Amino acid sequence: MPTPNPATQLDMYRRMLRIRRFDETVKTLFDRGRIPGSVHLSIGQEAEVVGACMALRGDDTMVGNHRSHGHPIGKGAALGPLLAEILGKATGVNGGKGGSMHLADFSVGSLGESSIVGSGLPVAVGAALGLQMQGSDRVCLCFFGDGASNEGYFHEALNIASAWQVPVVFLCENNGYGVTTAFGRVSRNTDVARRAAAYDMPGDIVDGQDALAVHAAVSAAVARARAGGGPALIEAKTYRYPHHSEGPLYDGIPYRDPGELAAWRERDPLPLFAARLLETGVADAAAIAAIEADVTAEVAAALEFAEQSPWPDPAEAHRGLYRTPIGAGHA
């Protein structure tokens, strides 16, 4: 696939930085006790998220997972309503009912994300089937982790997607760990993409720290699916710098070698991409600094919006859960 034009590359860097600064803000809020429940950050994985999302059209759909903030941001979602949702505010994308792990933002085609590992895979196949039945050339992108590749959902979803040749692209975010368990301890074959052969679909491995490499691989798979060629499986080898989720639970658990983490930090996707922009002449230092200043201001505005937003009306508690809300009586 051709290299994206300079404007697109600058937008890729902006979106990667939006994810990083957003998640850093979420971590600060969590550490201050402002966010109930758990949060899972995408710090370190921004390149594969943005590279994949920017291979889509605006009207394409996607399904995410519990590491959820980066996916809608990668597709261009507004930050204010996302942060308001995480804080449980009425102005959140789901009225404050979804929270960190259950975001859905239909404005950018994000159909939803779930804390149930692997559960997005059949949802994505269903969404793609719906697009196929409508006679549309739209596609669905499905994000899932290496841990989900050992769930029954994974095999069932890939099997039926291949049998029906639906327009879905499966994107495995292989960050090497399921919570504190190294993927190699639970999978003899640590290359998830090799499993595609069992379902007669293309399977490609790509450097998840290289946004352009991910963009090229996903663009090719999307073009194939859009033309009626059926599903594909892409595995992005990446790494999360924080623990599985925030909080003290994993402190003191020596599940990964400090040297391993340090080596992956040397491949931080943001400075790597910024360096490429400078080396290729796509941007100069002033342009990079301007993007960083803009994103910092955008995240600050999103935080102000979220903090000043009202809490949901208690009367909304059961809306959307039942056909007839509790207390509303029956016809």
Instruction: Tell me the angle at which helices 46-53 and 269-279 cross, rounded to the nearest 10 degrees.
Output: 60
Half-sphere exposure of residue 34: CA atoms within 13 angstroms, side-chain side: 17
Res 139 pLDDT > 60: yes
- The pLDDT value recorded for residue 331 is 47
Question: Does residue 319 surpass a pLDDT of 90?
Answer: no
> Residue 208 and residue 50: Cα distance in Å, rounded?
10
Grouping H, G, I as helix, E, B as strand and the rest as coil, residue 140 is: strand
Residue 125 confidence (pLDDT)? 98
> CA–CA distance from 157 to each of 162, 173, 188, 232 (Å)?
9, 17, 21, 12
Residue (of 25, 31, 103) closest to 67 by Cα position: 103
Residues 273/15, Cβ–Cβ less than 8 Å: no
Is residue 10 within 8 Å of 277, Cβ to Cβ?
yes
Per residue in 272-314, pLDDT (tens digit) is: 999 999 999 999 999 999 999 999 999 999 999 999 999 999 9
Number of H helices, E strands in the chain: 11, 7
Residue 326 pLDDT greater than 80, yes or no: no
Euclidean distance between CA atoms 217 and 235, whole angstroms: 10
In tens, the pLDDT along 224-257 reads: 999 999 999 999 999 999 999 998 889 889 999 9
Closest CA to 110 of 24, 49, 163: 49
Split at pLDDT 50, 70, 90, the class of 324 is: low
Whether the pLDDT of residue 83 is over 90: the answer is: yes
| pLDDT band per the 50, 70, 90 thresholds, residue 61 | very high
Q: For residue 2, give the DSSP letter.
A: P
Distances (CA, A) of 10 to 1, 47, 117: 18, 13, 33
Overall average pLDDT of the 64-88 stretch: 96
Which amino acid is present at 121?
Answer: L
Q: Which band of pLDDT confidence, cut at 50, 70 and 90, is reported for residue 328?
A: low
Reported confidence tier of residue 325, pLDDT bands at 50, 70, 90: low
pLDDT band at 1 (very low <50, low <70, confident <90, very high): confident
Sheet of 232-237, strands arranged across: 61-63, 140-145, 168-174, 232-237, 203-207
Q: What is the pLDDT of residue 37?
A: 86
Burial of 121 (0-12, 13-18, 19+ CB in 10 A): buried
Rounded-to-integer distance, Cα 49 and Cα 40, Å: 14
Task: Evaluate if residue 46 carries a pLDDT over 90.
Answer: yes
Task: Give me the residues paired with residue 169 across strands.
Answer: 141, 232
Task: Compute the mean pLDDT over every residue in the chain, rounded to the nearest whole number.
Answer: 95
> By percentage, how much of the chain surpasses pLDDT 90?
90
Task: For each of the domains in the chain, give its residue range(s) and CATH number, in order of start.
Answer: 6-309 (3.40.50.970)
